[in-house]
Amino acid sequence: MFGYLGGGVRVVDDYVATLAALRDEGFARYWTAQLPRDPDLLTVLAIGLREVPGIEVGTGVVPVQPQHPMALAQRALLVNQIGGGRLTLGLGLSHKPVVEGMWGQSFDRPVRRMSQVLDGLLPLLAGEKAAAEGDLVTTRGALAIEAPAPPVYLAALGPQMLRLAGRRTAGTVTWMTGPRTLAEHAVPTIRGAAEEAGRTVRVVASLPVAVTDDRDGARAEAARQFAVYGQLPSYRAMLDREGYAGPADAAIVGDETEVAERIAALREAGVDEYVALPFSPDPEERARTRALLRTL
């Protein structure tokens, strides 16, 4: 299951309540995105893991540009210590309008930046000393935090990021990427790179979903809620590759049979974990969606 934090005054209470409810409904992991204007996700996850046992959490994803690898490792290790090893750390590169417009950083050479972040981050998460000299990111030193290393996933869509994820991380987390693009592009690229490196990886794919009889209404709602992803270049490229006009086409919409078939298509494309984002504003449709997901 996938969700957003939001910026309300009860964000921590709401997250804890949602995490507990999903745990009680039988879901194994709850992924949450770090959006630029929302509260710090890892802080909220630490509280959620402390308060709610019996369910794992994932970050889908934390952008790497506004923080140093050592600071990120400090927070991630502490969260995983609190959660007893229940954190999956998904990382990404955000987007040019955010990186340059909000954070005042250059978006040039993003894959090189991510590689140099991993040079410093991965040893620190493994309890080792980092000695990574880079032209974009340099990390030196060690941490004194006893905690299991969380598996690291990359939000990878383009071939260079997919190959980097395959060579060096536990896998990829995709968004707005359809089954044909996964089967023909993402899965073979990341698994090919992993095989060359003597490793195995997992593919996690997230798409909006709504079990409903009002297909046209749901598609219109998906087009409204997710319009920005049809404009950001990385997601636009995935939509175009799939032949989708926009995010509404990527959304999994229909009755129980239709939705189950489309989720099965993701599995056939090589996806190891489907992360559902129920998006209907109707509480009954959201409950109907979760009821189906529990059976899958």
List pLDDT tens digits, range 199-231: 999 999 999 999 999 999 999 999 999 999 999
pLDDT in tens, 40-79: 999 999 999 999 999 999 999 999 999 999 999 999 999 9
Instruction: Give me the pLDDT at residue 221, please.
Output: 98
Instruction: Give me the pLDDT at residue 145, please.
Output: 97
CA distance 243 to 93: 25
Residue 268 and residue 135 share a domain: no
Residue 287 and residue 202 share a domain: yes
Residue 292 and residue 171 share a domain: yes
Instruction: Give me the pLDDT at residue 2, please.
Output: 77
Instruction: Give me the pLDDT at residue 249, please.
Output: 98
Mean pLDDT of 256-268: 98
Q: Where are the beta strands (DSSP E) in 65-104?
A: 87-92
Residue 7 and residue 70 share a domain: yes
The answer to whether the beta carbons of residues 274 and 205 sit under 8 Å apart is yes
HSE-up (13 A, CA, CB side) for residue 184: 8
Q: Token pair for residue 134?
A: 């880079």
Q: The domain containing residue 136 runs over which residues?
A: 1-152
User: DSSP letter at 206?
Assistant: E
- pLDDT category at 290 given cuts 50, 70, 90 is very high
The domain that contains 190 carries what CATH number? 3.20.20.30
Residue 56's DSSP bridge partners are 29
Instruction: Give me the pLDDT at residue 4, please.
Output: 79
CA distance 31 to 113: 24
Question: Domain boundary at 105, 120, 152, which?
Answer: 152
Q: How many domains does the chain have?
A: 2
CA distance 6 to 14: 10
Burial class (CB in 10 A: 0-12, 13-18, 19+), 247: buried
CA distance 114 to 111: 5
Instruction: Give me the pLDDT at residue 95, please.
Output: 87
